[in-house]
């Protein structure tokens, strides 16, 4: 038997999608409004899933206080109210698309939790656009 526990979180962040080697016109064509040279913000909604076996002694799959702390330290502190391109090391070289942000969040969380868990990251960039990354 396995079960998944979820924890939701939220952060606001600014970004710009662009490739330096492309002209402003080509960037605007490919990335649309997300290529605005002056950056813009999104309200990101995050759902982190932790799948595994329930601990028979406690009845917990994972202590949610621990998951809350990991998400706070690895995602909310470094990303909330930040410019992702300028203030998050990973996005100085990688375009901060919702895909790449989800992968970065996954990598940060996986390294903090026991390897017996399977992690999933669902990240909404808008209420209708979201990605799921499971490694």
What is the set of active-site residues?
34, 81, 125
CB of 42 to Ni ion, least distance (A): 5
Number of residues forming the site for Ni ion (CB under 5 A): 1
Cα–Cα distance between 121 and 108 in angstroms, integer? 11
Cα–Cα distance between 117 and 44 in angstroms, integer? 24
Of 14, 34, 50, 121, the one binding Ni ion (CB under 5 A) is 34
Residue 19 or 69 having the CB closest to Ni ion: 19
CB of 65 to Ni ion, least distance (A): 33
Please give the sequence-ordered ranges of beta strands (E in DSSP) within the chain, or none if there are none: 3-15, 40-52, 82-83, 118-124, 130-133
Residue 70 or 104 having the CB closest to Ni ion: 104
Read off φ and ψ for residue 117, nearest 5 degrees: -90, 145
Contact segment (CB under 5 A) with Ni ion among 4-12, 26-34, 64-72, 103-111 equals 26-34
**Beta bridge mates, 109:** none
- Footprint of Ni ion (CB under 5 A): 34
């Amino acid at each position: 038997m396995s079960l998944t526990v979820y924890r939701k979180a939220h952060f606001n962040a600014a970004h710009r999608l662009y490739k330096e080697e492309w002209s402003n016109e080509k960037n605007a064509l490919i990335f649309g409004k997300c290529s605005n040279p002056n950056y813009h913000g999104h309200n990101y909604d995050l759902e982190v899933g932790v799948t595994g076996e329930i601990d028979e002694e406690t009845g917990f799959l994972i202590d949610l206080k621990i998951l809350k702390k990991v998400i706070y330290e690895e995602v909310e502190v470094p990303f909330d109210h930040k410019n992702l391109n300028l203030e998050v090391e990973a996005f100085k070289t990688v375009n901060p698309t919702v895909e790449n942000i989800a992968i970065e969040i996954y990598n940060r969380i996986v390294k903090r939790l026991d390897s017996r868990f399977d992690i999933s990251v669902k990240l909404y960039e808008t209420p209708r656009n979201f990605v799921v990354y499971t490694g």
